[in-house]
Chain A
Amino acid sequence: NAGVTQTPKFQVLKTGQSMTLQCAQDMNHEYMSWYRQDPGMGLRLIHYSVGAGITDQGEVPNGYNVSRSTTEDFPLRLLSAAPSQTSVYFCASSYTGSYGYTFGSGTRLTVV
Protein backbone atom coordinates (compact mmCIF):
# COMPACT_ATOMS: atom_id res chain seq x y z
CA ASN A 1 0.00 0.00 0.00
CA ALA A 2 1.28 3.43 -0.94
CA GLY A 3 1.97 5.75 1.93
CA VAL A 4 4.37 6.70 4.68
CA THR A 5 5.63 3.91 6.92
CA GLN A 6 7.02 4.75 10.34
CA THR A 7 8.70 2.31 12.68
CA PRO A 8 8.60 1.57 15.53
CA LYS A 9 5.13 2.56 16.77
CA PHE A 10 6.20 2.58 20.41
CA GLN A 11 9.61 2.84 22.06
CA VAL A 12 10.91 3.28 25.58
CA LEU A 13 14.49 4.49 25.98
CA LYS A 14 16.72 5.15 28.93
CA THR A 15 18.35 8.55 29.22
CA GLY A 16 21.52 8.61 27.16
CA GLN A 17 20.59 5.79 24.82
CA SER A 18 20.54 6.33 21.09
CA MET A 19 18.04 5.15 18.53
CA THR A 20 16.79 5.74 15.01
CA LEU A 21 13.18 6.31 14.02
CA GLN A 22 12.58 5.02 10.54
CA CYS A 23 10.44 6.69 7.88
CA ALA A 24 9.90 5.41 4.36
CA GLN A 25 7.57 6.49 1.56
CA ASP A 26 6.86 4.90 -1.79
CA MET A 27 5.20 7.83 -3.55
CA ASN A 28 8.39 9.38 -4.94
CA HIS A 29 7.80 12.50 -2.84
CA GLU A 30 10.67 14.94 -2.84
CA TYR A 31 9.76 16.60 0.46
CA MET A 32 9.99 14.69 3.73
CA SER A 33 9.85 16.01 7.25
CA TRP A 34 9.80 15.04 10.91
CA TYR A 35 7.57 16.58 13.56
CA ARG A 36 7.06 16.13 17.25
CA GLN A 37 3.72 16.57 18.93
CA ASP A 38 3.50 17.46 22.61
CA PRO A 39 0.39 18.02 24.75
CA GLY A 40 -0.93 21.57 24.46
CA MET A 41 1.41 22.41 21.63
CA GLY A 42 1.03 22.17 17.90
CA LEU A 43 3.13 19.93 15.75
CA ARG A 44 6.65 21.30 15.55
CA LEU A 45 9.03 20.77 12.68
CA ILE A 46 12.30 19.08 13.64
CA HIS A 47 14.08 18.57 10.32
CA TYR A 48 13.07 18.42 6.70
CA SER A 49 14.47 17.42 3.34
CA VAL A 50 13.63 18.62 -0.16
CA GLY A 51 15.42 15.76 -1.88
CA ALA A 52 18.10 13.11 -1.58
CA GLY A 53 21.25 14.56 -0.09
CA ILE A 54 19.54 17.76 1.09
CA THR A 55 18.40 18.33 4.66
CA ASP A 56 17.69 21.40 6.74
CA GLN A 57 16.71 22.28 10.28
CA GLY A 58 13.22 23.11 11.40
CA GLU A 59 11.96 24.80 14.52
CA VAL A 60 13.30 22.31 17.11
CA PRO A 61 16.35 20.50 15.68
CA ASN A 62 18.53 20.21 18.78
CA GLY A 63 19.22 16.64 19.86
CA TYR A 64 18.21 15.16 16.50
CA ASN A 65 20.08 14.26 13.34
CA VAL A 66 18.75 13.29 9.93
CA SER A 67 20.08 12.11 6.60
CA ARG A 68 18.49 11.53 3.21
CA SER A 69 20.56 9.10 1.17
CA THR A 70 17.59 7.98 -0.95
CA THR A 71 14.31 9.56 -2.02
CA GLU A 72 12.37 6.90 -0.09
CA ASP A 73 13.98 7.01 3.36
CA PHE A 74 14.37 9.75 5.94
CA PRO A 75 15.52 8.39 9.31
CA LEU A 76 15.58 10.49 12.47
CA ARG A 77 18.38 9.81 14.94
CA LEU A 78 18.44 10.57 18.63
CA LEU A 79 22.10 10.47 19.61
CA SER A 80 21.67 10.71 23.39
CA ALA A 81 18.04 10.54 24.46
CA ALA A 82 16.76 12.94 27.10
CA PRO A 83 13.43 12.95 28.97
CA SER A 84 12.56 16.20 27.14
CA GLN A 85 12.42 14.15 23.95
CA THR A 86 9.45 12.16 25.22
CA SER A 87 6.86 12.89 22.57
CA VAL A 88 4.92 11.53 19.63
CA TYR A 89 6.87 11.78 16.41
CA PHE A 90 5.35 12.02 12.95
CA CYS A 91 6.98 11.72 9.59
CA ALA A 92 5.29 13.30 6.58
CA SER A 93 5.96 13.61 2.88
CA SER A 94 4.70 15.50 -0.13
CA TYR A 95 5.67 16.65 -3.56
CA THR A 96 7.53 19.94 -3.42
CA GLY A 97 5.44 23.02 -3.95
CA SER A 98 1.98 23.48 -2.65
CA TYR A 99 0.69 19.93 -2.44
CA GLY A 100 -1.09 17.93 0.21
CA TYR A 101 0.70 15.99 2.87
CA THR A 102 0.77 12.30 3.74
CA PHE A 103 1.55 11.48 7.36
CA GLY A 104 2.92 8.35 8.92
CA SER A 105 1.05 6.73 11.79
CA GLY A 106 3.40 8.12 14.43
CA THR A 107 5.93 6.84 16.95
CA ARG A 108 5.26 7.26 20.65
CA LEU A 109 8.63 7.66 22.36
CA THR A 110 9.15 7.67 26.11
CA VAL A 111 12.54 8.50 27.58
CA VAL A 112 12.96 7.51 31.23
Chain B
Amino acid sequence: KNEVEQSPQNLTAQEGEFITINCSYSVGISALHWLQQHPGGGIVSLFMLSSGKKKHGRLIATINIQEKHSSLHITASHPRDSAVYICAVRSNTGNQFYFGTGTSLTVIP
Protein backbone atom coordinates (compact mmCIF):
# COMPACT_ATOMS: atom_id res chain seq x y z
CA LYS B 1 0.00 0.00 0.00
CA ASN B 2 1.31 3.46 -0.89
CA GLU B 3 -0.37 6.23 1.00
CA VAL B 4 1.81 8.76 -0.85
CA GLU B 5 2.61 8.66 -4.55
CA GLN B 6 5.06 10.94 -6.28
CA SER B 7 5.67 11.65 -9.93
CA PRO B 8 7.87 11.59 -11.78
CA GLN B 9 10.34 9.21 -10.15
CA ASN B 10 13.22 10.68 -12.11
CA LEU B 11 13.56 14.05 -13.78
CA THR B 12 16.34 15.59 -15.83
CA ALA B 13 16.17 19.26 -16.71
CA GLN B 14 18.33 21.88 -18.35
CA GLU B 15 19.48 24.74 -16.20
CA GLY B 16 16.87 27.48 -16.18
CA GLU B 17 13.88 25.24 -16.78
CA PHE B 18 10.71 25.37 -14.71
CA ILE B 19 10.24 22.13 -12.80
CA THR B 20 7.14 20.56 -11.28
CA ILE B 21 7.04 17.55 -8.96
CA ASN B 22 3.69 16.09 -8.02
CA CYS B 23 2.46 14.34 -4.89
CA SER B 24 -0.86 12.57 -4.35
CA TYR B 25 -1.97 11.04 -1.10
CA SER B 26 -4.81 8.83 0.00
CA VAL B 27 -5.16 9.50 3.74
CA GLY B 28 -6.58 12.36 5.73
CA ILE B 29 -3.79 14.67 6.71
CA SER B 30 -3.01 17.42 9.17
CA ALA B 31 0.02 18.61 7.19
CA LEU B 32 2.10 17.86 4.12
CA HIS B 33 5.87 18.25 4.02
CA TRP B 34 8.31 18.64 1.17
CA LEU B 35 11.81 17.44 1.96
CA GLN B 36 15.08 17.67 0.05
CA GLN B 37 17.74 14.98 0.26
CA HIS B 38 21.12 15.80 -1.21
CA PRO B 39 23.53 13.20 -2.61
CA GLY B 40 25.41 13.21 0.70
CA GLY B 41 22.24 11.88 2.32
CA GLY B 42 21.22 14.72 4.58
CA ILE B 43 17.51 15.61 4.65
CA VAL B 44 16.25 19.16 4.89
CA SER B 45 12.68 20.26 5.42
CA LEU B 46 11.65 22.69 2.67
CA PHE B 47 7.98 23.33 3.33
CA MET B 48 5.15 22.34 5.59
CA LEU B 49 1.68 22.97 4.21
CA SER B 50 -1.83 22.50 5.47
CA SER B 51 -3.51 24.68 2.85
CA GLY B 52 -2.86 27.04 -0.02
CA LYS B 53 0.60 27.95 -1.21
CA LYS B 54 4.03 28.79 0.16
CA LYS B 55 7.03 30.34 -1.53
CA HIS B 56 10.67 30.40 -0.54
CA GLY B 57 13.08 31.85 -3.03
CA ARG B 58 12.74 29.88 -6.28
CA LEU B 59 10.67 27.17 -4.63
CA ILE B 60 6.89 27.18 -4.55
CA ALA B 61 4.69 24.56 -2.91
CA THR B 62 0.95 24.25 -3.35
CA ILE B 63 -1.65 21.94 -1.88
CA ASN B 64 -5.23 21.13 -2.84
CA ILE B 65 -6.83 19.45 0.16
CA GLN B 66 -10.01 18.46 -1.69
CA GLU B 67 -8.05 16.73 -4.46
CA LYS B 68 -5.42 15.34 -2.04
CA HIS B 69 -2.65 16.67 -4.22
CA SER B 70 0.40 18.85 -3.80
CA SER B 71 2.98 20.21 -6.21
CA LEU B 72 6.50 21.49 -5.72
CA HIS B 73 7.71 23.95 -8.34
CA ILE B 74 11.25 25.13 -8.93
CA THR B 75 11.64 28.22 -11.07
CA ALA B 76 14.87 28.93 -12.97
CA SER B 77 16.36 25.58 -11.98
CA HIS B 78 20.07 25.37 -11.18
CA PRO B 79 22.49 22.42 -10.92
CA ARG B 80 22.60 22.91 -7.15
CA ASP B 81 18.89 21.98 -7.09
CA SER B 82 19.92 18.42 -8.04
CA ALA B 83 18.64 16.26 -5.21
CA VAL B 84 15.89 13.86 -4.27
CA TYR B 85 12.65 15.59 -3.33
CA ILE B 86 10.40 13.73 -0.93
CA CYS B 87 6.74 14.33 -0.15
CA ALA B 88 5.52 13.32 3.31
CA VAL B 89 2.14 13.56 4.98
CA ARG B 90 1.18 13.56 8.62
CA SER B 91 -1.96 11.60 9.29
CA ASN B 92 -4.79 13.48 10.97
CA THR B 93 -5.71 10.37 12.98
CA GLY B 94 -2.48 10.12 14.95
CA ASN B 95 1.21 10.78 14.74
CA GLN B 96 1.98 8.60 11.76
CA PHE B 97 3.98 9.98 8.88
CA TYR B 98 3.89 8.50 5.39
CA PHE B 99 6.54 9.21 2.78
CA GLY B 100 6.70 9.07 -0.96
CA THR B 101 9.62 7.26 -2.57
CA GLY B 102 11.05 10.53 -3.81
CA THR B 103 11.72 12.26 -7.11
CA SER B 104 15.33 12.29 -8.22
CA LEU B 105 16.06 15.59 -9.95
CA THR B 106 19.16 16.25 -12.02
CA VAL B 107 19.70 19.72 -13.43
CA ILE B 108 22.25 19.87 -16.23
CA PRO B 109 24.27 23.04 -16.80
Binding site for B on A (CB under 8 A): 31, 33, 35, 40-45, 48, 50, 56, 58-59, 88, 90, 92, 97-103, 105-106, 108
| With A98-B30, A100-B33, A105-B41 as contacts: A44 and B99 at CB distance below 8 Å | yes
Of all chain B residues, the one with the shortest Cβ separation from A96 is B95
Inter-subunit contact A101/B99 (CB<8 Å) = no
Inter-subunit contact B43/A56 (CB<8 Å) = no
Of all chain A residues, the one with the shortest Cβ separation from B29 is A98
Tell me the complex Cα distance, A73–B42, Å: 20
Q: Which residues of chain B (59-109) have a CB below 8 Å from chain A? A: 86, 88, 90, 95-102
By the criterion of a CB under 8 Å from any partner CB, how many residues of chain B are at the interface? 24
> Top 8 closest A-B pairs, CB basis?
A42-B99, A98-B31, A103-B43, A43-B99, A100-B45, A42-B101, A100-B48, A101-B45
Binding site for A on B (CB under 8 A): 4, 30-31, 33, 35, 41-45, 47-48, 50, 86, 88, 90, 95-102
Inter-subunit contact A31/B101 (CB<8 Å) = no
CB contacts (< 8 Å) of A100 on chain B: these are 33, 45, 47-48
Inter-subunit contact A40/B101 (CB<8 Å) = yes
Q: List 11 A-B contacts (CB under 8 A).
A: A35-B99, A40-B101, A42-B98, A42-B101, A45-B96, A58-B97, A92-B43, A105-B42, A106-B41, A106-B42, A108-B41
Most buried by B among A43, A99, A102, A103: A43
Other 16 A-B pairs with CB < 8 A, given A97-B30, A101-B48, A105-B41: A31-B95, A33-B97, A42-B4, A42-B88, A42-B102, A43-B99, A45-B96, A45-B97, A92-B43, A98-B30, A98-B50, A101-B33, A101-B35, A103-B42, A103-B45, A106-B41
Q: Which of B31, B41, B44, B97 is within 8 Å of A88, CB to CB? A: B41
Inter-subunit contact A42/B86 (CB<8 Å) = yes
User: A37 CB to closest chain B CB, in angstroms?
Assistant: 9
Tell me the complex Cα distance, A33–B50, Å: 21
CB contacts (< 8 Å) of A33 on chain B: these are 97
Tell me the complex Cα distance, A42–B100, Å: 5
